[in-house]
Amino acid sequence: MKSVYFRLKQTINDFIRQGASPNELAMAISLGVIIGMFPVQGTTTIICTLVSILFRLNLVVIQLANYLSFPFMILMLVPFYSMGHVLFSRSDFLWNVEELILLFQNNFWAAVTELSWSISYAVAVWLIFAPVGILIIYLISLKIIKRFKIQATS
């Protein structure tokens, strides 16, 4: 049975043999991970596809990174929404599920409006976080990819 390390090294080298450079792979990974943390559920697959077409990145790599980052997206939802409300000085968001359900039952459009603003605030925080996150993940993944590539060729 092959180790995870060996399979990862083999996969990276397969992509490089197909013509992807280490920089392109690292960029696809970093964009996939950060887009995967986008605080609007159900949009990341489409966004990653468009980004991969726009920047001519490997669609498989960016989507794989997107799907693997799903736990991080769940983990970051509350911080993105909370920081968004702090950033825009809005402390009246309903974090209680029962209150939110009651608001939807009593005034559907008010609930939709409140949630729309909350989503906008979370996206704004994500936009602030994304460039730094992309850079950090890019540098880390590039170093790993180059290490695997050097070891595989020697």
Selected residue with higher pLDDT from 151 and 32 = 32
Give ∠ CA 24-27-31 in degrees, rounded to 5: 140
Residue 49 confidence (pLDDT): 96
The amino acid occupying position 53 is I
Q: What six digits make up the tokens of 126?
A: 């994500």
Give the CA radius of gyration of the chain.
19
pLDDT at 152: 46
**Burial status of residue 130 (CB atoms within 10 A of its CB: 0-12, 13-18, 19 or more):** middle
Distance CA 49, CA 56 (A): 10
pTM of the model: 0.80
Running DSSP on this structure, what letter comes out for residue 22?
A: H
Beta carbons of 73 and 36 less than 8 angstroms apart:
yes
For 40, the token pair is 């609007």
pLDDT tens for each residue of 54-94: 999 999 999 999 999 999 999 998 899 889 988 888 766 65
How do residues 103-153 score in pLDDT, each as one tens digit? Answer: 788 888 887 887 888 889 999 999 999 999 999 999 999 998 888 765 444
CA distances from 124 to 55, 72, 75 (A): 23, 18, 17
